[in-house]
């Protein structure tokens, strides 16, 4: 492989993984929301990291899971913008 071909291949891989990680974070945020909801109803015990516990104390399950979803949306946005910019050039 030539250097420029390898570079183009790696740029496409980075874009692909940004999109995959964005979808995974959004999916995990939704899963985390339902886990918190089940824990509130007393159906399952749940242990969460301090940061998410802090967010949960401030805004409940919506804020704690919303932060994960928001990060996923941001990562997804950067991946899509990278695809759009690569198509233009």
More confident site: 3 or 19: 19
User: Are 26 and 69 contacting, i.e. CB atoms less than 8 angstroms apart?
Assistant: yes
pLDDT bin (cut points 50, 70, 90) of residue 65 is very high
Region 65-69: mean pLDDT is 97
Query: What is the model's pLDDT at position 3?
Result: 65
Angstrom distances, CA of residue 58 to CA of 30, 36, 41, 51, 62: 19, 14, 19, 11, 10
Listed by start position, the domains of the chain span: 14-88
Q: What is the pLDDT of residues 12-64, one digit of tens each?
A: 777 888 899 999 999 999 999 999 999 999 888 888 999 999 999 999 999 99
């Amino acid at each position: 492989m030539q250097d420029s071909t390898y570079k183009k291949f790696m740029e496409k891989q980075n874009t692909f993984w940004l999109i995959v990680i964005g979808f995974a974070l959004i999916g995990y945020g939704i899963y985390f929301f339902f886990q918190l909801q089940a824990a509130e109803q007393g159906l399952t015990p749940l242990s969460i990291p301090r940061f998410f516990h802090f967010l949960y104390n401030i805004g409940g399950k919506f804020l704690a899971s919303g932060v994960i979803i928001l990060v996923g949306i941001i990562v997804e946005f950067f991946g899509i913008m990278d695809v759009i910019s690569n198509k233009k050039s």
